[in-house]
Amino acid sequence: MPEVKRKWLDVVVMGLVIMVALLPIGVEAYYNYQVEDGLIRNAKLVPTLLVPGSSASQNRFDTLVSELDQHRRKHSVIKVTVSKTSLVSIRGKLKRDDHHPYVVVAFQDNADGYDNIKKQAQWLDLALKKLQNKYNFGAINAIGHSNGGLILTRYLEKYHHEKQFNVKKLMTIGTPYNGDEENWETQTMMLKDLIANNTHLPEKMTVFSVGGADVDTSDGIVPFQSVAKGRQIYQNQVAHYTLIMVTGEDADHSALPQNDEIIDLIQQFILTNK
């Protein structure tokens, strides 16, 4: 065989070998990324969104994340703050091959009050749109402490669209769905609004509502009756709703995110891939 033809044949054979070697990568990329409604999503990337309550910063969950990292692979932490003028700042880096980073979204204006919760839910929407555009995640799990659970609930009812991404699991911790109201028969305006708009909640979502009882039926700030009112918002509107009470040591309101029992619940129900 002439030398030129032999070299040409060698090049073709080498090219075929490279194509075969790269085929698994192409197949993996095909399954990792999905195109839906013209949007490209990373099917493997499922962040855990953490939203703090009033007066709390983007560092509110540092102890919780540190505790969780002791029991499993250490994940990336991305911290986001939304300013009063709706500017979204993002700190942190997504590690290579980390499919379950923690994403904390906090607000410069973190004051209490229903009017502020409405604004914070809108700011959360801005933050998640920017994050989704940056990382292309196809689903999230979410945890909200105190008013963080109200912000997430308001966001899910008013702003979230499943075409953007799925919300698979939600855990609210010490969330005052009925404010500081202890009377089972009384409904605050906020609770009435959340019940009225609950048909917009993601139907396939699983919800865990966790409350503390350090002093009688209160965590020292939020009555358990108020936490339990979440049932009127979520039950029969989502795939699964579970109400859980933790008692004893570290069951006061501010300590709940560091409570050992709640950390176990997060590991068992939120951070699993199911």
Task: Quote the Cα angle for 131-132-134, to 5°.
Answer: 65
Taken in order 118, 122, 123, 127, the sign of the CA dihedral is positive
Predicted confidence at residue 119, as pLDDT, reads: 98
pTM: 0.86
Q: What is the pLDDT of residues 77-87, one digit of tens each?
A: 999 999 999 99
Confidence of residue 11 (pLDDT cuts 50, 70, 90): very low
Residue type, 218: S
Q: Between these two residues, 267 and 10, which has the higher pLDDT value?
A: 267
Radius of gyration of the chain, Cα coordinates, nearest whole angstrom: 23
Over residues 188-217, the mean pLDDT reads 93
Identify the three-state secondary structure at position 215: strand
Confidence of residue 159 (pLDDT cuts 50, 70, 90): very high
Q: Between these two residues, 69 and 215, which has the higher pLDDT value?
A: 69
Predicted confidence at residue 6, as pLDDT, reads: 52
Predicted confidence at residue 4, as pLDDT, reads: 47
Q: What is the pLDDT of residues 91-135, one digit of tens each?
A: 999 999 999 999 999 999 999 999 999 999 999 999 999 999 999
- Rounded to 5 degrees, what are φ and ψ at 91? -120, 145
Quote the tokens at residue 232: 């009127």
Over residues 176-190, the mean pLDDT reads 96
Task: Quote the Cα angle for 53-59-132, to 5°.
Answer: 80
Identify the three-state secondary structure at position 134: helix
Q: Between these two residues, 9 and 215, which has the higher pLDDT value?
A: 215
Confidence of residue 216 (pLDDT cuts 50, 70, 90): low
Confidence of residue 218 (pLDDT cuts 50, 70, 90): confident
Residue 199 has pLDDT above 90, yes or no: yes
Q: CB within 8 A of 138, min separation 6: which ones? A: 34, 41, 42, 43, 45, 46, 165, 166
DSSP 267: I
What fold, for 37-270? Rossmann fold (3.40.50)
Confidence of residue 2 (pLDDT cuts 50, 70, 90): low
Share of the chain above pLDDT 90, in %: 76
- Is there a contact between 43 and 34 (Cβ–Cβ < 8 Å)? yes
Residue 16 has pLDDT above 50, yes or no: no
Average pLDDT, the chain: 87
Residues 191, 182: Cα–Cα separation, whole Å: 13
The domain spans of the chain are 1-32, 37-270
DSSP 251: -
**Strands (DSSP E) along the chain, which ranges?**
33-36, 39-42, 48-51, 77-82, 88-91, 102-107, 139-145, 166-173, 206-213, 240-247
